[in-house]
Amino acid sequence: MEREGNDGDLGGERDKSLPGTSLDRKPSIFNSTLLLYNVGEVILSLNSDGLSWKSVEPLENDVSTCLGIKYVSKVASEIKLSDIYAVELIDNSSIHKLNLPRGTERTLSSHDRKMFHFTVHGFIKSKNQPSQWILAEYTFGHTNLQTCLMWVNQLDSSLKLEVGRPRSLLVFVHPRSGKGNGCRNWEAVAPIFALAKVETKVIVTERAGQAFDMMSSLTNKELNSYDGAIAVGGDGFFNEILNGFLSPRLKAPYPPTPPDFVHLAKDKGDSLVVDENEVFEETSSQSEDQFPLISSANQSGLRISNSSSEDKAPEFPVPNEWFRFGIIPAGSTDAIVICTTGARDPITSALHIVLGKRVHLDIAQVVRWKKTPRSEVEPLVRYAASFSGYGFYGDVIKESEKYRWMGPKRYDYAGTVVFLRHRSYEAEISFLDDESEETDSTTSKRSRESSLLRGLKSPRRSERCICRINCKVCNEKPNNAAAGTCSLTPHLNSEKRRWVKSKGRFISVGAAVISNRNEKAPDGLVADAHLSDGFLHLIMIKECPHASYLWHLTQLTKRGGSPLNFKFVEHCKTPAFTFTSSGNESVWNVDGEMFQAHQLSAQVFRGLVCMFATGPEI
C-alpha cells in the first residue's frame, strides 16, 4: 500500500488512498494513513462492518519484557459500526509532542504544526463485568481538513444506515428518585444523546403522577413524533410512565377467572382504568420513585378508557414495535434495568438507548375487583413490569410509609419490623396450570417430603435456563398455543390448561414477571424467569416457623441460592391467577405502589412493550 505524502508526512498534497468499498462507489477515503492519538501513525480502513486500523510501525512501548518473555500490549484495533454512536469533527486544533507517544514526533515537522482531527465515539465492554459498557473515544488527526471531513461524512452516512436508532425521545426525570440522583444522572448522560444527535424533550417532574398525566394525555399525533420514552429514576417511576402509556391505549380483555370466582362486572373487551378519590388516599403523599403512580388529586373522578380518546388519527397501535422504553437508573433497587441491560449503570443504559437496542418485555395486567369485602364490584386496572406481592411484601410497602424521612433505608427498616411480626393471612389463590406437565410446586412437594434440609440442595447453575441476550426461550414460538390464540396471551387457551386452587394461610404471595435481580438478591426472586416468555412466576409462601422463613430470605441474598426449594414454598409458572382475601384488609405491592385489593385477578401479556436493551450478558 502506498502511504500519503512523503516520508510519513501527513500533509502531502496528494491523497493516494485505496479505492472505495462497496458501501459507496463514489471516490472517497476508505483507507488512509492518519494519526491516532495515544497510538501513533496508523492505516485506517472502513469496511461494511466498521473501522479497523493498524500501526504503520510498532511503537517502543508496544512490547514489554518480563523474565525474558516478550509481551505485546493489547491495544484496540477496530470498532464495529453498531458500536459507534457518534463521530465528531474538531478542526483548527494543534497537537504538541507531549500529546504523542514516544517515537512518533517525527510524523510532524514541528511541535506546533496545525492538525485537524475527528473523534469516533463508541464503547467497550468492561473486563470485570461484560454487561457494563464503558465509553471509548478514538481520535484521528490529519493536516488536511478535507480528509477529515470526508471521513466524518462517510461515517455519518454509514451510521444513518443503522436500523432502529432513535432520533427523538421524551425524557422524564424524577429529581427525588432513590437518593436524589435523578437530575445528576441525567446530566451525566445528556452529552451522549447530544453527540448521537438524538433530540430529547426533558420533563423534570414536580409532583407525583405528573408523568402519568402527561403520557396518558398525549395525542396519537404527539406520541408518533417520538421514538420512545425514557424514565430517569427507579422501577416505580418507570411503572408510572408505563401505566400512563398503556391505560388509555391498550385494548385487551380482563384476565380469565375460574367459574367460582365471584365478581359481577362484565368485561366489554377494553381495559378500563377508573380513578376514584379512594385511589389517591392510598398514595397522596408519595413523592419518591417507589410511590409515584397515579396520585395526583387533579385526576380525581377521571375515567380513562380506550374508547374515550378523541384522537382517532393517526392511529397508535399497542403493542408497538418501534416505540420503545428506556430507563436511566436512579432508584433504590433498579431491578428492571438490571434484568434488561445487565448493569445498574447510567452510561450503559444511555448507550443501549442511543444505539437503538431492542428487547421485548412481558407486562402483567392486574385487575382489582373489590377493594374491601364490603366494597362494590368495580374493576381497577394496573400494569406491572416486575413484581406484584401480597402479605410480607404489602406490609413492607405500607410500613415504610411511616419512615419516609429515612429515604431508601426505610425499606430495610420496614422489612425488619414486618419480619419480626411474622404475620400470616388467610387467602385463596387459583392459577392456570398445565395438566401435561408437572408444576414446579408438585415436583418440589415430592422432593421435599422427607426433610426440610433438602431445600438447601440448589440445582447446578448449568441446569438453570437463565435469560440472556438473544434468549432462545424468549424468542421461541409456543407450540401449545391454540389456533387463533392472541399472540400476547399464547398460553391461556390451551386445552390442557386447568384451574388449580390453593387455600390456606400465607406469609406472602408474589407474582414475578421477571427475575428481579438486584444488588441484595443477585439471582433475583426467580433465577430462571425470562423477560418475554408469557409466564408469571407465582410464589406462595405458606405459614411456617419464624426460623424457616428467615432461612428462605437468607437464600435470596446468596448467589446460586435456592430460596424456592422449601417445603412451605409453592412455585409455579402460570399465565394467569386470581386472589381472594379472607380478611378485612388486603394490601398489595404492585411495582412499588401500595395497592389495596380484597379480590383481584391477573394475567401476563407476552412481549407487550419493547425496551432499549439487549438482555444481560451473563
pLDDT, position 97:
41
From CA 141, how far away is CA 90, in angstroms rounded?
9
Report domain 362-435+465-606's class.
mainly beta
Can you tell me the distance from the alpha carbon of 244 to that of 273, in angstroms, rounded to the nearest whole number?
10
Q: Regarding beta strands 168-173 and 199-204, do their DSSP bridges make them parallel or antiparallel, or are they unpaired? A: parallel
85's enclosing H/E stretch is: strand 84-94
Residue 330: helix, strand or coil by DSSP? coil
Lowest mean pLDDT among 282-291, 498-507, 556-565: 282-291
Q: Would the pTM count as exceeding 0.75?
A: yes
**What is the predicted pLDDT for the residue at 450?**
36
Paired with 199 in beta bridges are 168
340 touches 613 (CB < 8 A): yes
Which of residues 15 and 47 earns the better pLDDT score?
Answer: 47
Average pLDDT of the residues of the chain: 80
Residue from 75, 77, 73 nearest 50 by CA: 77
59-84 pLDDT, tens digit per residue, is: 555 554 444 554 444 567 899 999 99
- Please list, in sequence order, all residues whose beta carbon lies within 8 angstroms of the beta carbon of residue 400, skipping any fewer than 6 positions away: 410, 411, 413, 414
Gap between the Cα atoms of 542 and 506, Å rounded: 4
Which of 417-426, 481-490, 560-569 has the least mean pLDDT?
481-490
Give pLDDT tens digits for 217-276: 999 999 999 999 999 999 999 999 999 999 999 988 999 999 888 765 554 444 444 343
Q: Which residue has the cell 408469557?
A: 534
Q: What is the mean pLDDT of residues 393-403?
A: 86
- What's the pLDDT tens digit per position in 535-560? 999 999 999 999 999 999 999 999 99
Q: Delimit the CATH 3.40.50.10330 region(s) of the chain.
A: 168-256+318-355
Stretch(es) of the chain classified as CATH 2.60.200.40: 362-435+465-606
User: CA dihedral in degrees (236, 401, 343, 171; nearest 10)?
Assistant: 40
Confidence of residue 580 (pLDDT cuts 50, 70, 90): very high
pLDDT confidence tier of residue 532, bands split at 50, 70 and 90: very high
Q: How confident is the model at residue 616 (pLDDT cuts 50, 70, 90)?
A: confident
Alpha-carbon span 247 to 214, nearest angstrom:
12
What is the fold of 30-57+76-94+114-161? Answer: PH-domain like (2.30.29)
**SS3 at position 317:** coil
Contacts of 339 by beta carbon, 8 Å cutoff, 6+ apart: 386, 467, 514, 515, 516, 517, 524, 531, 616
Distance CA 208, CA 211 (A): 8
> What class is the 168-256+318-355 domain?
alpha beta
Residues 510 and 380: their CA atoms lie apart, in Å, by 19
pLDDT computed for residue 444 by the predictor:
42
pLDDT at residue 463 in the model: 55
Which has the minimum average pLDDT: 94-98, 124-128, 274-278, 605-609? 274-278
Q: Which amino acid type is present at position 392?
A: F
* CATH 2.30.29.30, the chain: domain bounds: 30-57+76-94+114-161
Confidence tier at 344 by pLDDT (50, 70, 90): very high
118 — pLDDT class (breaks 50, 70, 90) = very high
Highest average pLDDT, of 330-334, 452-456, 480-484, comes from 330-334
- Phi, psi (deg, nearest 5) at residue 370: -140, 135
For the question of residue 235 being annotated catalytic, the response is yes
The per-type count for the chain, helices as H runs and strands as E runs, is 13, 26
**pLDDT class of 176 with cuts at 50, 70, 90:** confident
Name the active-site residue from 83, 213, 227, 235.
235
**Range of weakest confidence among 251-260, 286-295, 495-504:** 286-295
Q: What are phi and psi of 495, to 5 degrees?
A: -65, -20
What's the length of the chain?
A: 618
Grid cell listed for 306: 380506550
